[in-house]
Amino acid sequence: MSAAEAIPTVPVPEGDAGQPRRSGSFWGDVLRRLRRNPAAWIGAVVVSLFVLVALLAPVLAPYPELATPGAGLRLPTYLPGPGEVPDFPLGIDRFGGDVLSKLIWGAQASLLIGVASTFFGLLGGMVLGALAGAFGGWVDTLIMRVVDILLSVPHLLLAVSIAAVLGRTPLAVMIAIGVAQVPIFARLLRSSMLQQRGSDYVLAARTLGLGTGRITMTHLLPNSVGPVIVQATLTLATAVIDAAALSFLGLGGGRPETAEWGRMLTYAQAELAIAPWLAFLPGICIMIAALGFTLLGEALREAMDPRTRKR
């Protein structure tokens, strides 16, 4: 037997295309898995279009947000619908506003409320979760009891109560939705940090004499924030729906002709018999925007899940 034959061969793991599996960073592997996921592409395209329409609303919208150029065309029992008047491709509403322009401006309002409220909830939840996960003991117990109290109240009911107390303004809606999301992020980050506290790298850092604050900021938090990022993406879909719900209930403030999808649904109720598209169009926009964030968030969750990363 030759020396080459005496050396045992070790099989090389193969990837999806039969090629040797490449080793890389965690986030590089996540990006590769996202590129192979059709749901991620669909969600990314929908979210990108939603963001572009919202950012370019002043350019894309044919009329200003509060303009009522079709006021002279409305009748008590008739409103021009989609395709009936060339200047208004999607018709006009009861106030004489261009429906297409209001849908475009409404995307901007929904994006602003969704992103701002999720940021508030993420920031508050990460602060509480980091304190509970880093210190433990009575700090953890106290914070988690407060979180349990918030979780005992239905999500939307809590947001409605806070918005009603703070006043009927868009800022109140952002704060209300954000506060309702705080318990979700707090529990998720705290759970992730508790799993990391017993890791070897944390024990090694304590052995080297590093303090709790430094270990938390340089080791625990960066390695625990992944699930929170995924949840934030999924929560954006809920925030868009909650913003529309609060505006539908009249808690968003502003004038009746303000362009916001939930507010458009509110004033479309009285026109369902003669202009049902006034309710269908903003409802479809809400559904598509929420679906885009949901698909992207679910794809990101699967790409970061260690149980599916081995497949």
Question: Is the pLDDT assigned to residue 23 strictly greater than 50?
Answer: no
pLDDT at 251: 81
Sequence spans of domains, the chain: 52-70+86-309
pLDDT digits (tens, 9 = 90+) for 221-265: 777 777 888 888 888 888 888 888 888 887 876 676 778 888 888
Average pLDDT over residues 177-190: 90
Name the most confidently modeled range: 156-165, 193-202, 218-227: 156-165
pLDDT at 18: 44
Question: Is the pLDDT assigned to residue 19 strictly greater than 60?
Answer: no
**Window from 23-37, 72-86, 120-134, 276-290 with minimum mean pLDDT:** 23-37
Question: Is the pLDDT assigned to residue 123 strictly greater than 80?
Answer: yes
pLDDT at 114: 87
**Window from 157-161, 179-183, 280-284, 303-307 with minimum mean pLDDT:** 303-307
pLDDT digits (tens, 9 = 90+) for 77-120: 888 888 888 888 998 888 888 999 999 998 988 888 888 999 99
Residues in the chain: 311
- Which pLDDT band holds residue 52 (cuts at 50, 70, 90)? very high
The C-alpha atoms of residue 55 and residue 191 are separated, in whole angstroms, by 36
pLDDT at 284: 92
Question: Is the pLDDT assigned to residue 49 strictly greater than 90?
Answer: yes
Which CATH superfamily does the domain covering 52-70+86-309 fall into? MetI-like (1.10.3720.10)
Question: Is the pLDDT assigned to residue 1 strictly greater than 60?
Answer: no
Which residues fall within 8 angstroms of residue 68, CB to CB, at 6 or more apart? 95, 96, 97, 257
Report the amino acid identity of residue 65: E
pLDDT digits (tens, 9 = 90+) for 56-70: 999 999 988 888 888
pLDDT at 4: 42
pLDDT digits (tens, 9 = 90+) for 128-140: 988 888 787 888 8
- Which pLDDT band holds residue 16 (cuts at 50, 70, 90)? very low
More confident residue, 59 or 25: 59
- Which pLDDT band holds residue 308 (cuts at 50, 70, 90)? low
Contacts 24+ apart (CB under 8 A), 32-35: 33/302, 33/303, 33/309, 34/299, 34/300, 34/303
Q: Strand, helix or coil at 163?
A: helix
Percent of the chain, pLDDT > 90? 15
pTM of the shown model = 0.78
pLDDT at 12: 41
Tokens of 244: 């529309």
The C-alpha atoms of residue 134 and residue 113 are separated, in whole angstroms, by 31
| Phi and psi at residue 166, to the nearest 5° | -75, -20
pLDDT at 53: 92
Average pLDDT over residues 15-44: 70
Q: How far is CA 186 from CA 129, 130, 183, 202, in A?
A: 4, 8, 5, 21
More confident residue, 21 or 89: 89
